[in-house]
Structure 1
């Protein structure tokens, strides 16, 4: 059963990513057709064609290698300036890269048919080209926002409630725990205030010291401030409201950070503080969030992804060091689709996690992948969408400067000149993908050690 759940988790994310890639290409396809550009192919994947069908002037299909997708539009490059009157192209003597660009332009020209004169990509106004190239990333952003809305509003986020999950029988000081490793109560240990007050797991605290309790954080702060003072407390057990009194004990407790982990000093010793303590643990539950929480959550996720992208070279070095040594992988570092699938499988196979929480986590995972695709595709380097946008903006700037100084229009920016950079970036992307896949196989990130 565990293996089946693992496979289902992997399939869930695999299908989610495949659909996301397909919709990314739809984001390019729809505006291209709306602007009358002739689109010859809409393909999911690369390599040999597995299945295709032609509708109108466009071939729609699936390729053998599910590593992305593309929309093929005519006229991505302007024609060769070196073309002779008879249409032939003179061989360039300026070097291999120039010849490469010349051949690419000629290949684009050879694809044109009668009636394409005003349907080529490079003749579109700059703003239309930008809309077409941003359509894909914006589709990923939209998918991410929708999935986060489903996650936050439909499933909710895990939040600490005012219902007790555990009640300690005694108080073991932080010093005792550190010095002896003691975890069990002894006759010498003082009784925990909550145990003395008669509280049990499952009780829900509703009123503390005459104030209505609305959140666990609020209750915790009141408990910390009430050390040594007997205060009235109201709680609900089995639907019945009950009352008692409790005296929080002044004790040293670990300083906990925003992420819930105990904080240490420069020497690695745990930091402590004297606060009121009653010896309870709280339950966590999924709490539905309002629509206003969706965009801030998406924004926070985008900032985190942007930080990874900005530091990508160093992150890849860290991945390589971990993959070829005994170092541990950074769980917040980059990973391939193999790693994402493995994480999805691990989450799905955890029987101790409620089904609702597992499904919510998988939805959040696919949403985060879409946000990562949005950010990554905005990098201003070819062959990424951001590279085409940068080229269009550069063309606009050149033309505006020429107009400002009453110079001749320089014409469309020849993206074919950037082919050497395109191939170099493509090789780097393939190398990055290979490294991440290898690392995800030999040194995978694991959420459950």
Structure 2
């Protein structure tokens, strides 16, 4: 795929994920009898719009997100206290469902994308066989001449029949010159290599190979649900490790995400759609985090209201979300400038 088409595909994919997220809020609000005043893709001045019923559907100048404006949702909205279509006049559980519907839409999208891949071109999964995956530049595997797809038969004379056994054997020889017996293109070869000594553990620097997994229509949906749940669990664990300080935070901003999407689009349909699947999962998890300005932050206030039967002061909640939004904006700018752009210019 050309660079121009790859960029167009990346922009279209992000826009679609945003639209689906906001559509979750929109349909839940409409189902609850709330009045939706605007459904916007993007922020800032409206570039184009049309009206259907009580809702204005708009495309705005800054395509960095989107929003659904529900009557009575923002403090200061001029709505009558007895207006049943206003967000503020609805029961807390209804408002809770409207907010949670956005992340839920991203989750359902992820399941559908995974199932579609499994039923057609396949969705990658770790290969349990002792095969070489992506190589790390400058590490012993790349220096020694290993290639992705090589099947390792033995390490220093010890046969290996799985990737786990392969890793275990390599780790036993830190800094020690050894010989790998491998199969490449139907031919057996011997390759000398010296695993790097990483604190007494041998490291050679290659990832686990991936294989495309396919299922029938029914099996694809079940497997898509299972794979999405597993990926969501891994994302939650990663967030937990990051917040607890056990794992270094490696964040990507809009530029970094766009780069990965463009790279995936140029590699082919499966890598691109697999990345869209992952981003959709991350959007669902990220928006459910109990942080101000995110859907999860609003859910915390609504949960408090449902438990205590007392509504939090609207202005206080508004200030909390505003502070969270400013902090989130600063974080995005910092990650973009010192992370995405620094890596880009460093190349």
Aligned partner (choices 182, 193, 214) of residue 288 of structure 1: 214
* CA offsets 1:347-382 (integer angstroms, 9 cap, x no match): 4445xxxxxxx2111001111111111001101233
Give yes or no for contact 2:242–2:248 (8 Å, CA) kept in 1: no
Distance 1:145 1:398 in 2: 35
Match of 2:229 in 1: 299
Aligned-residue Cα RMSD (Å) equals: 4.0
Match of 2:79 in 1: 112
Match of 2:288 in 1: 378
Matched, 1:362 2:279: no
Distance 1:423 1:13 in 2: 30
* CA offsets 1:218-240 (integer angstroms, 9 cap, x no match): xx9xx87xxxxxxxxxxxxxxxx
Q: CA deviation at 1:286?
A: 3.2
Match of 1:428 in 2: 327
Q: CA deviation at 1:21?
A: 0.6
Match of 2:114 in 1: 148
Give yes or no for contact 1:38–1:120 (8 Å, CA) kept in 2: yes
Give yes or no for contact 1:75–1:121 (8 Å, CA) kept in 2: yes
Give yes or no for contact 2:37–2:70 (8 Å, CA) kept in 1: yes
Match of 1:340 in 2: 257
Give yes or no for contact 2:128–2:164 (8 Å, CA) kept in 1: no
> Where in structure 2 are the equivalents of 1:122-133 lying within 5 Å?
122-133=88-99
Secondary structure of 1:443's match?
helix
Match of 1:205 in 2: none
TM value normalised by structure 1: 0.58
Match of 2:41 in 1: 44
Q: CA deviation at 1:53?
A: 1.6
Give yes or no for contact 2:35–2:70 (8 Å, CA) kept in 1: yes
Q: Give unmatched runs, 5+ long, in structure 1.
A: 78-103, 166-177, 185-216, 225-248, 320-332, 351-357, 400-409
Give yes or no for contact 1:9–1:341 (8 Å, CA) kept in 2: no
Summarize the Cα distance change of 1:259–1:120 in structure 2 as closer, same or farther, 3 Å threshold: farther
Distance 2:7 2:63 in 1: 15
Q: CA deviation at 1:318?
A: 5.5
Secondary structure of 2:336's match?
helix
Summarize the Cα distance change of 1:74–1:259 in structure 2 as closer, same or farther, 3 Å threshold: farther
Matched, 1:138 2:104: yes
Match of 1:20 in 2: 17
Structure that is richer in helix per residue: 2
Give yes or no for contact 2:44–2:62 (8 Å, CA) kept in 1: yes
Summarize the Cα distance change of 1:314–1:51 in structure 2 as closer, same or farther, 3 Å threshold: farther
Match of 1:407 in 2: none
Q: CA deviation at 1:42?
A: 1.0
Matched, 1:419 2:315: no
Summarize the Cα distance change of 1:36–1:437 in structure 2 as closer, same or farther, 3 Å threshold: same
Summarize the Cα distance change of 1:250–1:443 in structure 2 as closer, same or farther, 3 Å threshold: closer
Distance 2:144 2:293 in 1: 59
* CA offsets 1:124-169 (integer angstroms, 9 cap, x no match): 122211111111110000111111112223222367699x99xxxx
